[in-house]
Amino acid sequence: MKTVRIIGAGLAGSEAAWQIARRGHRVSLSEMRPSVGTKAHSTGLCAELVCSNSFRGAALHNAVGLLKEELKLWDSLIMKCALESEVPAGGALAVDRVVFSELVDSTLRQHPNISFQEEEISAIEGYSAEEPLIVASGPLSSPKLSSAIESLTGDGNLAFFDAISPIIYDESIDTSVCFRQSRYDKGEGDDYLNVPLSKDEYYDFVAEVKAAEKYTGNIAVESDSLEKLRPFEGCMPIEDMIERGDDTLLFGPFKPVGLRDPRTNSRPYAVLQLRQDDREGKLWSMVGMQTRMKRADQDRIFRKLPGLGAADFVRYGSVHRNTFIESPRLLDATLQYRGHAGLFFAGQITGTEGYVESTAGGLLAGLNASLLLEDKPLIELPEETALGALMRYISDPERKDFQPMNISFGLMNSYLNSPNRDEKGKKIGKKDRRLAAAAVALEKTKQISASHMPTTC
């Protein structure tokens, strides 16, 4: 029997181990806890939930609800244990965290194909197509392993924190106010959407940001690591910039030079630029708007900006400790490292944000490592599925300024390109369009998962 080695028995590593073992292959699972800990974990159990006990929304018109349904069709261990340990949480899937991790832990420890090693791995080596290795060491990968990963990826391809700007849907931007133009007409001349602000609007924005409620860390992050983020000028949160003076943003993300508002044919007092975030131009990121403001305040304050009154957020701004690689440059949508047969990365370290998304990556890496051992072609999942769309997002070589991403219907072309009017011209609501895209995704997942069911258990 051939063996796959996995580094990390978190959500991704546990799911990968299960997918490989149930296909009849051997797994050697290395986990450093409890002898070597992290700042967030407190047990030695597999798949410990480090913060919230929620796997988020369960409804199918919610992208994470769809992703969970797809995972169930793939016989996900994490989903099975989550359902067995479910606690009431309205429309969300929340679990008793101890029962959940104990279930995952005992299932994996009792599996005859899985052996556990309690050890801290500090090198990425010894992998091949015959002996694959999955790196699933998570956002808190140990420093020794992080430096081994950095040696592999090269300088600048491993990040230690997220400083994320919000992304909004194009259809929610008022283009009678926001104008297309590149600074000094560079590039195609109209690559950016620009939000023009008057003097009063700019200083109102600054005052609102100052008064807004902020997270001290986005998700249970240690406050000292936020202090360490301050030197990274390029990714500084807006509130930190404002601390240096009310005008600072005018020389950074609100710089108006080289831009003219076609309505007035003059340079606005301040301009916030929106940059296209997907090939189709359906998603736009707010350049330089990384922030620790609470989501309700982001909603309120960003929607006060001209032309953004109806802004629909795909992702909010945030800052938190997170180790992740520059996946678009390094990984295929199979999660195999480009040019390195047998080396896979999975989970949050690939830039997929969240418990469910991390599990999804573990599932795909486990499946593809198994296919490699079976001498079968690796699979890239169709982009009409939530899992396929997420993997396509993180592995798109055209992607610039990569930052971790949650699953969202905004990543799925099947949703973005779906008509918003029926044959009679009647508007089709967002929820119905999402449900239609979800039905396609589940049908595709059913077909592909059925053709990749294990022959041995």
Stretch that binds ligand FAD, among 149-157, 239-247, 289-297, 343-351 (CB under 6 A): 343-351
- Distance of alpha carbon 99 from the chain centroid: 26
Q: Which of 21, 29, 50, 193 binds ligand FAD (CB under 6 A)?
A: 50
| One character per residue 348-377, x = contact with ligand FAD (rule: CB under 6 A) | xx----xx--x-------------------
Q: Which of 93, 145, 314, 360 binds ligand FAD (CB under 6 A)?
A: 145
Residues 6+ apart with CB under 8 A from 426: none
Q: CA–CA distance from 80 to each of 12, 83, 316 (Å)? A: 14, 5, 30
DSSP strands (E only) in 326-456:
343-345
d(CA 272, CA 265): 17
Torsion of CA 209, 213, 219, 224, to 10 degrees: 80
Under the criterion CB under 6 A, does residue 30 sit at the interface with ligand FAD?
A: yes
* CB closer to ligand FAD out of 51 and 99: 51
Which three-class secondary structure state does DSSP give residue 116? strand
* CB closer to ligand FAD out of 102 and 120: 120
* CB closer to ligand FAD out of 76 and 348: 348
Q: Which of 75, 86, 102, 120 binds ligand FAD (CB under 6 A)?
A: 120
For tokens 């429309």, what's the residue? Answer: 91
Report the DSSP beta bridge partners of residue 315: 167
Under the criterion CB under 6 A, does residue 166 sit at the interface with ligand FAD?
A: no
* CB closer to ligand FAD out of 7 and 390: 7
Angle at the Cα of 383 from the Cα atoms of 16 and 326, rounded to 5 degrees:
60
Under the criterion CB under 6 A, does residue 158 sit at the interface with ligand FAD?
A: no
Under the criterion CB under 6 A, does residue 141 sit at the interface with ligand FAD?
A: yes
- Distance of alpha carbon 220 from the chain centroid: 17
- Rounded to the nearest whole angstrom, what is the least distance from the CB of residue 125 to ligand FAD in the complex? 13
**Residues, the chain, total?**
457
Under the criterion CB under 6 A, does residue 43 sit at the interface with ligand FAD?
A: no
d(CA 121, CA 125): 10
Q: CA–CA distance from 98 to each of 45, 55, 105 (Å)? A: 9, 14, 10
Under the criterion CB under 6 A, does residue 31 sit at the interface with ligand FAD?
A: yes
Q: Site size for ligand FAD, by CB under 6 A?
A: 37
The backbone torsions φ and ψ at residue 6, rounded to the nearest 5 degrees and listed phi first, read -130, 135
Under the criterion CB under 6 A, does residue 307 sit at the interface with ligand FAD?
A: no
Under the criterion CB under 6 A, does residue 62 sit at the interface with ligand FAD?
A: no
Can you give the C-alpha Rg of the chain in angstroms? Answer: 23
Under the criterion CB under 6 A, does residue 121 sit at the interface with ligand FAD?
A: yes
d(CA 363, CA 20): 9
Which three-class secondary structure state does DSSP give residue 388? helix
Under the criterion CB under 6 A, does residue 318 sit at the interface with ligand FAD?
A: no
| One character per residue 198-237, x = contact with ligand FAD (rule: CB under 6 A) | ---------------------xxx----------------
Under the criterion CB under 6 A, does residue 79 sit at the interface with ligand FAD?
A: no
For tokens 């678009």, what's the residue? Answer: 328
Positions touching ligand FAD (CB under 6 A) are: 7-13, 30-33, 38, 40-41, 50-52, 120-121, 136-142, 145, 219-221, 321, 347-349, 354-355, 358
